[in-house]
Structure 1
Amino acid sequence: MPDLTDHELADISAANESGLTPVVFVHGLWLLSSSWDRWRALFQEAGYATIAPAWPDDPEDVQAARAEPDVFAKKMIKGVTDHYLAAIDRLTVKPAVVGHSFGGLIAQRLAGSGVSRATVAIDPAPFRGVLPLPLSSLKSSSAVLGNPANYGKAVTLTFEQFTYGWANALPEDEARELYDTYHVAAPAVPLFEAASANVNPWTQAKVDTKNPDRGPLLIVAGTADNTVPLAITHAMYKLQAKKNPGLTEIAEIEGRGHSLVIDHGWKDVADVSLAFIQKNG
């Protein structure tokens, strides 16, 4: 597992020195940690310290990421989770955790290990036990899963693939702006791990839903999401609510797609997430 970067260590040190409750942001595939910058500013204004570690070996910015897309290949769910656990282990105050997409799956893995005081999982990728597999989700993931040779590779979405999976609820000009501003290559392995989770008992796409130390959990669902449709988020909510004694809630954000954390309506989603952590964290 790669060491934490100097930038990440500096953010952790600043969070510890502040004495404030920290919030850890976990990004998903096809984004960098800088996609959380506006969220971090909002949470800091509300009185929280924030850190947003990158996935191991992520480039520092979008330009560098596009120059070396192969650096994203072969990153696996467990290794990424362990990287965030290493960051949390250095915090002196137990944090809240917010994650999106595969970051939402990882956020629930972190919560299941008992290290989060409150967790928000936004349009989270499915894990073992979540059974629905809607057609739109299959089509969205086909850019990766449609070719088994992608397994050990990094995959960049075309603009058309990004539009269907992420920006289907947006006008084309905003979709293009988001694609040009945020989109980077992503490892294919996590998608293969999630796709086979229900037939592979050794899968890394697994969450401890029973741990009584999980803490409060909010699942946020964009009602127009093609990548993680409502059938998946509702099944995930029911699984968590049934198996865990802790508070489990779901919030639907009307008319929003998978881009809901970076598009023009990001603050609506951030406000819902912040309110949940303020109340329960």
Structure 2
Amino acid sequence: MMNPVTAPRSVVFVHGLWVHSDAWDPWLGLFEAAGYAPIAPAWPGEEGSVELTRANPGALAGRGIDEITAHYAQVIDGLPNPPVVIGHSFGGLIAQKLLAQGRAVAAVAIDPGQIKGVKPVPLAQVRAGLPILKRPRNKHRAVALTKRQFRFGFGNALSRDEADELFERWTIPGPGLPLFEASTANFKKVSPAAVDTRKADRGPLLMIAGGKDHTVPLKVVKAAHSLYRNSPATTDLEVFPDRGHSLVFDSKWREIADYTLAWLRRQAV
């Protein structure tokens, strides 16, 4: 067994709703070349390929934030050293939870899903989530986006051709439950979307926002960042004004990945 002291720093990538974990593959190669030991585990119920996951959507149904977080915590428990956790969309929410739990040395939350305490609900976000939230039965189902819904929620900053290509390549059904949990978090005393934003003895956190994101608009990310104002731990925010929600797996993914690597080097992790 490799010595934890000499083993490369582990990095765990966590994807969000409607996108398969294989979309992280370019990041895995880049981070491995940079000296890290990266992995991109699937969500519980997700199959090993886009095609197989599309063929078995029921396996994802009913999976909520707590279950998904616990799944990644179990993965982390088997690693040789505490990892960096990098998450996109709901994966960004989960990355924040794992950091607050002390399971990561640092975290990067990219266009992170809305945590409890965030109050702005921009119209674009309402429109992006409404196709799922308007049907209560979707809370217990796995739901796929249409091509049109994907273009609005993920690919609005891209050409139609690129958005459609990404839709065909990476999209999978996603459990509706996390979206319902996040959207009702501020109305519940206890919510799985809650994160301890006051925690002082945690590792550094970077939040990244796309200025044209419809699914998690910039205003939402800024509001989440402000919730950390009472923590002395490092909490940075970087905005990419011309990027939408597809920023981690579209043709300009390297811009986000290079910035993330540079930030991690500055944190010495």
TM-score by length of structure 2 reads 0.96
Q: Which of the residues 251, 254, 262 maps onto 2:238?
A: 251
**C-alpha separation between the residues in 1 aligned to 2:202 and 2:187?**
25
Find the aligned partners of 1:155 and 1:195 in 2 and give their Cα distance: 16
- Within a 5 Å distance, the mapping from 1:1-281 to structure 2 comes to 19-240=7-228, 242-280=229-267, 281=269
- Matched AA of 2:166: L
Q: Extract unaligned runs of 5+ from structure 1.
A: 1-12
Higher helix fraction (1 or 2): 1
* Rounded Cα–Cα distance in structure 2 between residues aligned with 1:144 and 1:236: 23
Aligned with 2:179: secondary structure?
A: helix
Shift of 1:251: 0.5
- Matches of 1:69 and 1:124 in 2, distance apart? 24
Instruction: Determine if contact 1:33/1:53 at 8 Å carries over to the other structure.
Output: yes
Could you tell me whether the CA contact under 8 Å between 2:2 and 2:80 is conserved in 1? no
Greater Cα offset, 242-251 or 100-109: 242-251
How many residues are paired up?
268
Say if 2:87 and 2:108, in contact at 8 Å, map to a contact too.
Answer: yes
| Structure 1 residues 233-263: Cα deviation after superposition (integer angstroms, max 9, x where no partner) | 00011112x1211111100112110000110
- Once residues 71 and 189 of structure 2 are traced to their aligned partners in structure 1, the CA distance between those partners, rounded to angstroms, is 23
Between stretches 79-88 and 14-23, larger displacement belongs to: 14-23
Is this contact kept in 1: 2:208–2:238, CA < 8 A? yes
- CA apart distance, 1:18: 7.2
- Inter-partner Cα distance in structure 1 for 2:76 and 2:137: 35
Once residues 72 and 124 of structure 1 are traced to their aligned partners in structure 2, the CA distance between those partners, rounded to angstroms, is 20
> Which whole-Å CA distance do the structure 2 matches of 1:64 and 1:142 have between them?
27
Q: Counterparts of 2:199 and 2:80 in 1: how far apart (Å)?
A: 22
CA distance in 1, matches of 2:215, 2:2: 35
What SS does the aligned partner of 2:12 have? strand
Cα 1:75–1:16 shift into 2, 3 Å? farther
Cα deviation digits, residues 179-207 of structure 1 (max 9, x gap): 00000000000000000000011211111
Structure 1 contact 114–211 (Cα < 8 Å) conserved: no
Which residue matches 1:5? none
Cα distance in 2 for residues equivalent to 1:230 and 1:78? 25
Percentage identity across paired residues of the two chains: 45
CA pair 265-109 structure 1, distance change in 2 beyond 3 A: same
> How far apart are residue 16 of structure 1 and its match?
6.2
Give the secondary-structure state (helix, strand or coil) at the position aligned to 1:191. helix
TM-score by length of 1: 0.92
CA offsets per residue over residues 40-82 of structure 1, 9 Å max, x none? 1001111101111111121110010111122211001001101
1:130, distance to aligned residue in structure 2 (A): 0.9
Q: Which amino acid aligns with 1:223?
A: G
The CA deviation string for residues 13-33 of structure 1, in whole angstroms up to 9 with x for no partner, is 889697101111011101121
- 3-state SS, counterpart of residue 97 of structure 1: strand
Q: Please give the alpha-carbon distance, in whole angstroms, between the structure 2 residues aligned to 1:243 and 1:130.
A: 15
The one-letter code sitting in structure 1 at the alignment partner of 2:10 is P
CA contact (8 A) 2:157 2:243 kept: yes
